[in-house]
Amino acid sequence: MRKLIPVLSVGFVVALIAIVAGCSDRGTNRPLSTFDQNHGYFPTAATRHVFDFPGFYYQPLNPNGLLLMTAYLPKPSTPPPIGSSEPVPLLVLVAPSFGGADFFFENGLFEMAEDMIEKGEIEPMAIVCIGNDELFGGFFYGNSIYGGFYDQALGDELLAYLRNKFPSIKSGPENTGIAGFGMGAYGAFRAIIQNPGRYSAISVTDGPLDFDGANPTAPGGRGLIDLFQPFVDLQAAAGRTQIRQFDTNSTQAITSLIFGGALTFSPSDTAATLVDSIETVGSGIPTGNRFSLLRNVQSITDSTTLVPRVYERIVVDAPSEASFTADVHLPFDVNGTAYGPIWSLWMQNNLDTLATAAGPGVFDGVGMYFATTIEAPLEYHQMTQSWLATLQGAPYSVQPQVFRYTGYEGNPADNQQYTYDILRRMLKFHSDRFAAAN
C-alpha cells in the first residue's frame, strides 16, 4: 500500500473525502462561474502558476509543478476603466490539511467578502487562497525536493506574480497580510519568518506551531511528540509492528500528518543537485513530464526509522530518464520514542528554530491575531499556546490579539467547523491593519 505511481488507492481517497467533508460549509460556496476582469472569483485555472524549477516539479501528484490558488477581487466603486485600476491591499489565505485552493470559497468567502465590503465592515481587498497538496493532507508548506519549495513561492515570487497578474494590488508590506488555518497556520508563520519584511500582519487558527511543545519531557505538553505513540499504536492494531511495514495509506489524520512531514523534513535523500530537463509548451505548463534525475544524492544510511518507497513516480514515455522513488525516515522508533538523529531534522524546521536564525527583529511591525480552541485536534491547541508564549517573551515581546472559542454540544470545534465565523474575524483584523497603515 506504500507505492504510489502516482494514483492514490481507494482507501486514501475515501479518507481524503471524509476529512474534507468534516469542514463546515455554510451553503455559501464559491460562484459557479468567473466574473469580469475587474471583479469577482478567479478560479484555479485562471490563477495557477508554475514557479521556476525546481519549484513543485517533484511534489507527488503534481506533475506539472503548479502552485494552485484561487482569488477574489472586490467590485470597483466606480465603473471601468477608472475602477479597474483602483488600488487595494492583499490578503493571502493558506489552507489547512486536505484544503484545496477552493477551501475558503467553499466556506463562504465570496459572499462574506462581498457582504462585509458593501456594509463598510471591511476595506476592499484582494484575497488570494493557496491550496494545500492533497497527498498526506499536505507537506507543512516547507522547503524540500519532494514537499515543494514554499519558502520562495510564498515570498517575493508569489507577491510579484500576483501584482503582475492583478495590477490593482497595492505594493508594500503595509498592504500585505497572510492568514492560515491548521497546517496553513504553520505555513503562514513560516512564510513571514523566511521572507521578513514582506507581510505586516498575520492571523491564524490552531496548528502545528511548536513541534516539541511547551514541555518536551512531560506528556500533554510535548507537541508532535505526543502523537508518536498513538501513531505506532494505530499501526500495531493493524498488525504492522516494524517501521518498514508501516502503512502510509491510513485513514487516520495522525498518519497523514506524520508522513506528510517526513516527506518534507526527513526524506532519505537529504540533498541533491537538480538538473532542469522539463519539457514545456508555449504556455509554460510542462507536458512531457521528463523529470531530471537527482544528482549527488546524500542518503541517510541509518535504517532505524526508515519507511521505504513511500512514493514512486514512473514517467511512462521515458522511464529510464524520469523514474525515481522516495523513502522517508520517521522521527521516532518502533516504540514511539523520539529518535534524535531524525527528530533533529524536524526541529530544524520548528518555527522557534527558524525565528531564532532570522534574528530578534523578524516580527518587528507584524500585527498578529490568533483564534484558538481547546477542542483543536492533533495537539494543535497545545502547540499554539506554546508558540504564543514564545512570541510574548523575549526577544520578540509581541502582544497578539487572541480570540478563544469553543464549540457546543453536537457541533464541537475540533475540525475547522467554525471556519466561516473565524474567517469573518480575520478579515476584520486585516482590514483594520490595512486602514491604519493608509
Provide the Cα torsion 77, 83, 85, 86; round to 10°: -20
In a domain, 237, yes or no: no
Instruction: Select from 17, 210, 20 the least CA-distant residue to 106.
Output: 20
Classify each residue of 86-116 as buried b or exposed e, where b means 16 or more C-beta atoms within 10 Å of its C-beta: eebbbbbbbbbbbbbbbbbbbbbbbbbbbeb
Say if residue 313 is in the same domain as residue 367. Answer: no
List phi, psi (to 5°) of 326: -125, 125
Say if residue 385 is in the same domain as residue 264. Answer: no
End-of-domain residue from the set 305, 325, 347: 347
Say if residue 125 is in the same domain as residue 203. Answer: yes
Instruction: Burial-class residue 352 by CB neighbours within 10 Å (0-12, 13-18, 19+).
Output: middle
Residues 324 and 184: their CA atoms lie apart, in Å, by 29
Say if residue 46 is in the same domain as residue 167. Answer: yes
10-residue mean pLDDT profile of the chain (438 residues): values are 27 30 44 61 90 81 87 76 70 96 95 95 97 92 91 95 94 97 98 98 98 89 95 93 86 91 88 51 42 56 89 58 75 96 96 97 97 96 97 96 94 89 97 94
Say if residue 168 is in the same domain as residue 34. Answer: yes
Instruction: Select from 205, 168, 165 the least CA-distant residue to 189.
Output: 205
Residues 382 and 372: their CA atoms lie apart, in Å, by 10
Say if residue 376 is in the same domain as residue 340. Answer: no
In a domain, 86, yes or no: yes
Say if residue 76 is in the same domain as residue 203. Answer: yes
Residues 290 and 314: their CA atoms lie apart, in Å, by 10
Say if residue 178 is in the same domain as residue 264. Answer: no
Give the pLDDT of residue 287: 43
End-of-domain residue from the set 347, 371, 393: 347
In a domain, 341, yes or no: yes
Which range of residues forms the domain containing residue 185?
10-212+359-437
Say if residue 378 is in the same domain as residue 316. Answer: no
Could you give the angle at which helices 225-237 and 253-265 cross, rounded to 10 degrees? 120
Counted domains in the chain: 2
Q: For the domain that residue 46 is a member of, what is the CATH number?
A: 3.40.50.1820
In a domain, 196, yes or no: yes
In a domain, 238, yes or no: no
Say if residue 363 is in the same domain as residue 340. Answer: no
End-of-domain residue from the set 347, 378, 406: 347
Q: What pTM did the predictor assign?
A: 0.88
Task: Indicate the residue type of 254.
Answer: I
